[in-house]
């Protein structure tokens, strides 16, 4: 009995769905389109339909379903209320109640970056640890903090919003959040491209980066090829992110930092630059914290969502 649960990760364009057994084996995964029209009213009914269909397809008994965990791209408070989700066109949403009414199953909801952290802790780069800070380096910089196996959601759903830590006063432009000098402006994929383009513009140094359009991937490929200008970009990135993680260690003091998101596909070279500056800036007793790459890729969110049901 109670042998299965669903992990659902709602993104702006697709809803990722996973069927798990309670040991954390991903038995089936699939995606549906996220229909954001009409203030996103279709999203939860669509998910309910998918779950009912999967139960029929797999000939599961309803009694065997422990529940549905759901990740959303927006702040979720400690009472499980989604405060908003811009990309889904949602305002305040009582997702747990609504999806329970639609399906009859217990529902738990969390912020997607926090659930990615929980997923990595459970079955990915953080397995075996119970205090983890996960950093997701993608279009933006997301974060998720788990202390004693529990997500730090924060009073306003801003627990682990590390992309919006101010790291410098001299950064051009405004962050998506409206502030200036956020970590996200220098350590996201977009930020790395900006660091590189600024350097390309302001010097005449030769670089293979001058030969085609710059991306976070091309920067770290160039680093691996020994390109000095790309290495300078990686040093800047590493100093911003490593020193910020040292700051976070003085607050949450995790056992391990797990680095994920698209940028982390660069591999261990990325960790090298972050770790170098982390060790330089960290408070003595946190200096030996472990760094690891995320392992679950785009599935981290569905793993974490499922785990939410099994906590």
Least distance between a second copy and beta carbon 144 (Å): 11
3-state helix vs strand vs coil in the chain, percent to 5: 45, 20, 35
Distance (Å, whole) CA 113 – CA 254: 17
Closer residue to a second copy in complex, CB, 132/222 = 132
In degrees to the nearest 10, what's the CA dihedral of 158, 267, 167, 256? 60
Interaction between residue 292 and a second copy (CB under 8 A): no
- The residue (of 55 and 146) whose beta carbon lies closer to a second copy is 146
- Given the complex with a second copy, which of 171 and 249 has the nearer CB atom? 249
Q: Does 283 participate in binding a second copy (rule CB under 8 A)? A: yes
Residues 90 to 119 in contact with a second copy, rule: CB under 8 A: none
Residue 19 or 152: the one with the smaller Cβ distance to a second copy is 152
Told to check if 289 binds a second copy by CB under 8 A, we report yes
Stretch that binds a second copy, among 15-23, 44-52, 94-102, 144-152 (CB under 8 A): 144-152
Q: Say how far apart CA 274 and CA 259 lie, in whole Å.
A: 10
**Under the criterion CB under 8 A, does residue 254 sit at the interface with a second copy?**
yes
- Work out the angle between the directed axes of helices 300-310 and 112-123 (0-180°, nearest 10): 80
147 binds a second copy (CB under 8 A): yes
CA distance 292 to 61: 39
By CB under 8 A, tell whether 154 contacts a second copy. Answer: yes
- Using the rule CB under 8 A, give the single segment among 6-14, 42-50, 95-103, 252-260 that binds a second copy: 252-260
Binding span for a second copy by CB under 8 A among 153-161, 204-212, 222-230, 260-268: 153-161
Which residue spans within the chain are E strands per DSSP? 4-10, 14-21, 26-33, 65-72, 107-111, 132-137, 141-147, 150-151, 256-260, 290-293
Report, in Å, the least distance between residue 45 CB and a second copy: 28
Q: Which is nearer to a second copy, 34 or 244 (CB)?
A: 244
- The Cα–Cα gap between 230 and 237 comes to 11
CA angle 77, 293, 28 (to 5 degrees): 70
Cα separation, 89 vs 77, in Å, equals: 18
Residue 283 CB-density burial (10 A; 0-12 exposed, 13-18 middle, 19+ buried) = exposed
Q: Which CB, 190 or 289, lies closer to a second copy? A: 289
Instruction: Answer yes or no whether residue 249 interacts with a second copy by CB under 8 A.
Output: yes
**Best CA proximity match to 139, nearest among 204, 72, 73:** 73
Looking at residues 3 to 62 of the shown chain, list those that interact with a second copy (rule: CB under 8 A): none
157-196 mask for a second copy (x: CB under 8 A)? Answer: xxxxxxxxxx----------xxx-----------------
3-state secondary structure at position 273: helix
Query: Of the two residues 47 and 241, which places its CB atom closer to a second copy in the complex?
Result: 241
264: its two tokens: 């982390």
Per-residue DSSP letter, 112: H
CB of 85 to a second copy, least distance (A): 13
Among 174, 228, 250, 311, binds a second copy (CB under 8 A): 250
Where do contacts with a second copy occur on this chain (CB under 8 A)? Answer: 75, 78, 83, 131, 145, 147-148, 150, 152-166, 177-179, 243, 246-255, 281, 283-286, 289
């Amino acid at each position: 009995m109670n042998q299965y649960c669903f992990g659902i990760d709602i993104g702006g364009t697709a809803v990722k769905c996973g069927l798990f057994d309670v040991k954390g084996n991903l038995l089936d995964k699939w995606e549906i389109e996220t229909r954001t029209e009409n203030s996103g009213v279709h999203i939860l009914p669509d998910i309910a339909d998918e779950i009912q269909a999967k139960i029929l397809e797999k000939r599961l008994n309803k009694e065997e379903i422990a529940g549905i965990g759901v990740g959303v791209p927006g702040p979720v408070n400690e009472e499980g209320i989604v405060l908003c989700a811009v990309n889904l066109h949602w305002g305040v949403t009582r997702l747990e109640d609504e999806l329970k009414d639609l399906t009859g199953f217990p529902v738990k909801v969390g912020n997607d970056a926090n659930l990615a952290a929980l997923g990595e802790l459970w079955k990915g780069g953080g397995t075996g640890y119970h205090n983890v800070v996960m950093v997701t380096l993608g279009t933006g910089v997301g974060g998720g903090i788990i202390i004693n196996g529990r997500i730090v959601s924060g009073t306003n759903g801003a627990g682990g919003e590390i992309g919006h830590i101010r790291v410098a006063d001299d950064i051009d432009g405004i962050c998506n959040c409206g502030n200036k000098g956020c970590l996200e402006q220098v350590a996201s994929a977009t930020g790395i491209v900006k660091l590189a383009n600024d350097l390309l513009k302001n010097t005449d140094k030769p670089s293979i980066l001058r030969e085609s359009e710059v991306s976070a991937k091309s920067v770290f490929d160039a680093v691996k090829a020994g390109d000095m200008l790309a290495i300078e970009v990686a040093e800047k990135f590493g100093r911003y992110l490593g020193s910020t993680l040292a700051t976070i260690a003085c607050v949450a003091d995790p056992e391990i930092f797990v680095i994920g998101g698209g940028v982390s596909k660069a591999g261990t070279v990325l960790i090298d630059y972050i770790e170098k500056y982390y060790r330089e800036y960290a408070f003595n007793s946190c200096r030996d914290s472990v760094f690891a790459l995320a392992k679950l890729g785009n599935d981290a969110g569905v793993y974490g969502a499922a785990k939410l049901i099994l906590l």
